[in-house]
Structure 1
Amino acid sequence: MDEQESFTIKDKRRFKEGTEPAEESKGPDNTQQLEEPYTPAIEINFASFIFSLGRSAFVHLGEEPDPVTGGKKVSLPLAKETIDIIGLLEEKTKGNLTQDEEQLIKNILYALRMRYVEMSSK
């Protein structure tokens, strides 16, 4: 195998002969900085996450207005799903929460479950 095989590369991109291909557009330039740094309205932690889920369940139970529409609408299946998610979080985080976090999740679940039973028995 003393001979080296040679090959040629042919660029099949479309551009005029003698010019370089234009740099491909990669969409909008996302490198701009925001004028003001983003600061969340509240501190993001486990308690605020549980409060958020709880509020969502109360919205589905018609206890609080929908933040988008401003109206109150009851959706028991969505409320049950959210309550079940909070219950799952309680089960899966058992032993890993502070005493305050455990009490918070128990209190929110109790209030939601009582309200759900009341609403579903109507």
Structure 2
Amino acid sequence: MDEQPQGEKPKIIIDEDWKTQVQAEKAAAKQGDPAAGEPAAPGEPPQAADQTPPGAADFPDDPEMPPASFEMLLTGLATEAMMSLGQIPNPITGEAKVRRNQAKYLIDTIGVLQERTKGNVSPEEAQAIDGLLHQLRMAYVRTPSA
């Protein structure tokens, strides 16, 4: 066994194959795979389990995005607000959950954008923001408190 010079910390060697095998076994165990406990043969790389959650293929890691615009910013904030109000389900979890504080924050953020862009948007954009804020505020007051 090699002696460490005094004052030096020992080097830690991480066996990546071992880590991969453990992760694959955990994933297989979650899926009820009977082969989950079988280790790979010596000298053979461990079999990596498909760790992609169901439905994740519908959500690529880095999807194409539309061009940035004022309308897309408002649409994104409004969509998040509607999810926070439980009006539409979260696309990842499929669950509709009410989060009134988050919804209020998002609605208020759109209100700040309305105030800060006043006089710098087209009449159509101003009308769209007014209508959007009205709809979101009405949805907010109709949403029961938890």
TM-score, length basis structure 1: 0.63
Q: Which residue does 1:67 correspond to in 2?
A: 91
Does 2:128 align with 1:104?
A: yes
**8 Å Cα contact 1:50-1:86 kept in structure 2:** yes
1:120/1:39 CA distance change after superposition, 3 Å: closer
1:103 to partner: Cα distance? 1.2
Matches within 5 A, 1:4-23: none
Number of residue pairs aligned between Structure 1 and Structure 2: 85
Q: CA deviation at 1:121?
A: 6.6
Structure number with bigger Rg: 1
Gaps of 5+ in 2: 1-61
Whether 1:117 and 2:141 are equivalent positions in the alignment is yes
Task: Give the match for residue 24 of structure 2.
Answer: none
State the alpha-carbon separation in 2 of the partners of residues 57 and 100 from structure 1. 22
1:19-73 CA deviation, whole Å, 9 max, x = no partner?
A: xxxxxxxxxxxxxxxxxxx884433200111011001000000001112211100
CA offsets 1:70-91 (integer angstroms, 9 cap, x no match): 1100000000000000001101
Aligned partners of 1:104, 1:40: CA distance in 2, in Å?
A: 26
Shift of the 39–58 alpha-carbon distance from structure 1 to 2, 3 Å rule, reads: closer
Aligned position for 1:17: none
- Larger RCO (CA within 8 A; separation ≥ 6): 1
CA contact (8 A) 1:47 1:104 kept: no
The whole-number CA distance in structure 1 between the counterparts of 2:85 and 2:71 is 21
Gaps of 5+ in 1: 1-37
What is the identity percentage for the equivalent residue pairs of Structure 1 and Structure 2? 39
Distance change in 2, residues 1:39/1:121 (3 Å): closer
Structure 2 length as normaliser, TM-score? 0.54
Contact 1:57-1:82 within 8 A present in 2 as well: yes
* 2:73 match: 49
* SS state at 1:64 partner: coil
